[in-house]
Structure 1
């Protein structure tokens, strides 16, 4: 059996991806000895109550969680959030070594996607298509490694407080954005680090800035995925703007689960896209 594993930052919880068995491994958010697991049954109201007025930290899955997810599958393909922002990749790699000590013949590929959310999901979906096409383990590893280099996650955020408090962006930049009430537009760069790139007032300005960034970084115009943090209207408006500029583009809209909602904050958008080779 071949199996795909994602951590929960991919916002992907289906039992199958294009007919390929899939399992999500949960990251979690912690505060004052309490933990909120990033699982499919995400209750936004419960999460708001959990996080209100608290200092929240995020925690990656344990190696044991990954090891349990690998199970007895013959081939396993694992897609983690950027190693620059989480220990999830290292935990998955440790689980790989543990699994192969017991079953050396088990083939496990662990990918640092260098992204999160919709872009992470896009790479996992690409792997499922290769599996369904009958590609070999080695062929899938080669093609997915190349695909990761051309897959990016962009964001349009109304607040950077949680990113700043967890060391992902500069605190001064977060305070300035809050004071000026501006949207911050950025991406995860080639190393997987979160980088603010532009500022815009209002959602219309944010959409314009995002389209400019997509063009600047050579978006291929074929497929774009938007995950929103309680902002369907904003995601739908961005979908229309993208399709007006790229008429052939397939645009999907999804929702942020707990971890991505925490970092994107209320109203934030995360955008997965492929850049031209």
Structure 2
């Protein structure tokens, strides 16, 4: 039986090759609309040019999820399909994937399971990686066993956001314009974490990167992280991503840290110098 692990492009893995036998990885691109021009969030996107255009555009930009047809095409690539989407509270990607599943299942027998990550960025990368690792270690796993595993991993993992630019948030009305202007002017960095509802809960502001990193370490420890995979996505800020990786490694030498550049969708939300950190505990720990 063949397997496909499918994500939308809020997952920043590009060119990922699964280690599990007879398993492929695909991602369905979201689109970002800027001043009437559509940017497709795939491996060919010039993310720097996208960010430049967004910064120049006075009006709010917008994003669009993969179409039902795009999801359906990917769902037809294997006997067993597990799809992982950006939070259903942030995008219509999950709903489109659900509709595509019903369409494809009408065509014939196939197994398709869809995970609402309740997050974006690093958490999706963590889910893809751990699912691949599970299928590699358990080549005879049934579809139900694999879906039970990834459901448990989703419940025992999260994502944090370290942001220091708020132009898009203010343009879209997600943040008061005056507050965004003040935060930008004072170089205030905000740390947030994905809530159970898939929205961002602000943990606190700081002008010090070291204080933000300390808060990240403290939060990870309080939730039970004890080593294992961590994905740090950065929006043109590899230096800070590597600095945070070093702090995590100092605390947990067994940490497996991967730093990745943000694709279009995540760079649109994280903005310049933003970080998105995905990690897990319990079943998503080294004992997984």
The interval holding the TM-score normalised by the smaller chain is over 0.9
Contact 1:11–1:118 (Cα < 8 Å) also in 2: yes
Q: Which runs of 4+ in 1 moved over 3 A?
A: 163-176
Q: Paired residue for 1:28, among 1, 6, 31?
A: 31
Contact 2:226–2:252 (Cα < 8 Å) also in 1: no
Relative to 1, partners in 2 of residues 1:193 and 1:136: Cα closer, same or farther, differing over 3 Å? Answer: same
What is the CA distance between 1:225 and its match in structure 2?
1.4
What TM-score, normalized to structure 2? 0.89
CA distance in 1, matches of 2:130, 2:203: 28
What is the CA distance between 1:130 and its match in structure 2?
2.5
Q: Paired residue for 2:270, among 239, 261, 264?
A: 264
CA distance in 2, matches of 1:169, 1:194: 12
Relative to 1, partners in 2 of residues 1:224 and 1:72: Cα closer, same or farther, differing over 3 Å? Answer: closer
What is the CA distance between 1:207 and its match in structure 2?
1.3
Structure 2 stretches of 5 or more lacking a match?
Answer: 284-288
What is the CA distance between 1:204 and its match in structure 2?
2.0
What's the RMSD between the two structures over aligned residues? 1.9
Structure 1 stretches of 5 or more lacking a match?
Answer: none
Relative to 1, partners in 2 of residues 1:168 and 1:125: Cα closer, same or farther, differing over 3 Å? Answer: farther
Structure 1 residues 42-121: aligned runs within 5 Å: 42-54=45-57, 55-103=60-108, 105-121=109-125
SS of match in other structure, 1:17: coil
For structure 1, which segment, 8-17 or 147-156, has the greater mean C-alpha deviation from structure 2 after superposition?
8-17
The match for 2:260 is: 254
SS of match in other structure, 1:52: helix
Contact 1:200–1:209 (Cα < 8 Å) also in 2: no
The yes-or-no answer on 1:122 pairing with 2:126 is yes
Contact 1:231–1:268 (Cα < 8 Å) also in 2: yes
What is the CA distance between 1:12 and its match in structure 2?
1.4
CA distance in 2, matches of 1:172, 1:5: 40
CA distance in 2, matches of 1:222, 1:73: 29
The yes-or-no answer on 1:137 pairing with 2:140 is no
What TM-score, normalized to structure 1? 0.93
